Each structure stands twice: as C-alpha cells, then as structure tokens.
Structure 1
Amino acid sequence: MHVCFIDSRRLPDARAAGEPRRRRVRHLLFAIAATGLLSIGQAAAQEAGEPAVAQAAAPAGAKPGKNGKVCEYEVVTGSRMKKRVCYTPEQWEAREKAGRELTRELDNRSIGANASGD
C-alpha cells in the first residue's frame, strides 16, 4: 500500500482506496453481462423451438424417401429405445396441427371445482 504524507498525516494512496469500489463495479458488470447472455440464449432457444410459418411440416433436415414418406425417430415414454415413424409430408402437417389444437384446448380449459372436465 502506498502512502503519501501531507501535513504530517498518513493518507492512503488513492489507488488503494478505490480498489473495493472497482471490484464492486467489476462484479456488477459481470452480473449484467451474464444476465444478458442468459436472456439471449433463452430467446434463441424459444425461436428455435417455434416452427416457421413458411417451413414445411415435415421434421427439420428430413428428406422424403422412395415412397414419399419422411421418417423420424421418436422417444417412447417408458423405454430407452426410439421408435421409427414414417409419414407423408401431409400427414406430418396434420399431426402437427392436431398437436397444436390439443395444446390450445388444454391451455384454454379452466380448472374449477369440478376438475373432471365435465
């Protein structure tokens, strides 16, 4: 620690006195940067999860086979093995539409005293 003498008093060096403040500012800037990066990551993940309107309903990167069907492996609940499913692009589109409608229906359903759905 550097000291300077003024009027026979020892005063701490200005650089040493500002160090705790610099450390707090550095930590604050790091926290802001980390929060920003996390926000960008979440926005990118959300955009990647949403299907594009102009994009075909078939799975991304899938190519039609010999008979015009597009195959994909799906995760089966309760099993480690994936199941191969093959549909035409029209069937993939109908399947996606049915899934969106089911999700919308379940989201709009109210939870009341009678939770059985009657």
Structure 2
Amino acid sequence: MQVTDILTLIPAQAAGGEGGALMGMLPIILMFVILYFLMIRPQMKRQKEHRNLVAALTKGDEVITSGGLLGKVTKVSDNYITLEVSELADKPVEIVLQRSAVSNVLPKGTIKSL
C-alpha cells in the first residue's frame, strides 16, 4: 500500500466511526425521551394543577390539608389561610396554615354531610 491509499482510507473510517458513535448513543437518548414523557412531564402537570388550586382558594372553600385536616377557609392572605376545623362552646377553632398545605378542595356542604 502506498501512502496515498492509506490517507484515503482514514476519512472513510472516521466517517463510519461517527455513525457508529451516534448509533451507540441512540438508546441513551431514547431512554431520556421516555423518562421525560413518563415521569417528568406528568409531575410538572401535577405541580401546575396544585399551583392553580392554591391560587384559587377563597373564603368559604372546604379543603383537606396534606396533614389530613378537614376544614373551612375563613381568611385568605398572600401566603397563609385560616382554617376553621371545629366549634367548641359556640366559638370556632381556627388554625393558620400555609396555602401550599392544601391538597384538595371539596364540594360545598361536604363537612356537614360527614
């Protein structure tokens, strides 16, 4: 073989090697795409729904907190809500919670039916 023959083979082998490297990385790229659609995207959707739920809280809503408390919202501020959880001697028992502690908003009248 001459030197010119060797030089012409080197670019052909390099081009074939690049294709092989891309094909070798394809399963890893495919795994990240699947991971995004199965785990990351649904989690972002749940976070957005929770953010909208917390932003829409108003006085009179009946809610369940992440700790399991059931009550009625009596006051709403920027970061906190006041939740009436019970009545004791005709005086309401109220607690102050962070807005993000609310996990579900219940239909009106749910507390009375329990």
Normalising to structure 2: TM-score of the pair?
Answer: 0.35
- What's the TM-score once normalised by structure 1's chain length? 0.34
User: Relative contact order: is structure 1 or structure 2 higher (C-alpha 8 Å, sep ≥ 6)?
Assistant: 2
